[in-house]
Amino acid sequence: MGLQVRDTTDPDEIRQWIQLHHGAPARVPDTASVRTADALLVDFVGARSGDYLDHISWADWFAWFDDHGLCFRYPQDPDSLTFQLIPRAASQPGTHVVNRNP
């Protein structure tokens, strides 16, 4: 069974989706110790606490996103908070279906 998702690199679309889900741009405190896509985070209200993340500006978040060639994948289900940051080379711009159990 597939899941309908959308892949995008459009900053306005990404920011709108994150803010619609009450999220804010963040990253792990020590970016040198993680893989590229794992450095960027979204802090959804009440979902994370402690020293796990640093809040950053949208400009810094998108600079890292672009510098590391990432794509934002999110489900078409408006209630889902699930998203992925994937390499742009692995993305399929637009809306498509992915296998839930790869």
Find tokens 């979902």 and name the residue. Answer: 47
User: Are 27 and 61 spatial neighbours (Cβ–Cβ below 8 Å)?
Assistant: yes
Sheet holding 94-99, edge to edge: 84-87, 70-75, 2-8, 94-99
Q: How many CA atoms lie within 13 A of 80 on its CB side?
A: 12
Give me the chain's average pLDDT, please: 84
- pLDDT per residue over 2-38, tens digit each? 778 999 999 999 999 999 999 999 988 877 777 777 7
**3-state secondary structure at position 78:** coil
CA dihedral 70, 28, 44, 58 (to 10 degrees): -60
Residue 97 vs residue 29, higher pLDDT: 29
What is the per-residue pLDDT for 46?
60
Neighbours of 39 (CB within 10 A): 20
What is the per-residue pLDDT for 53?
84
Q: Is the pLDDT of residue 102 over 50?
A: no
- pLDDT per residue over 50-61, tens digit each? 567 888 999 999
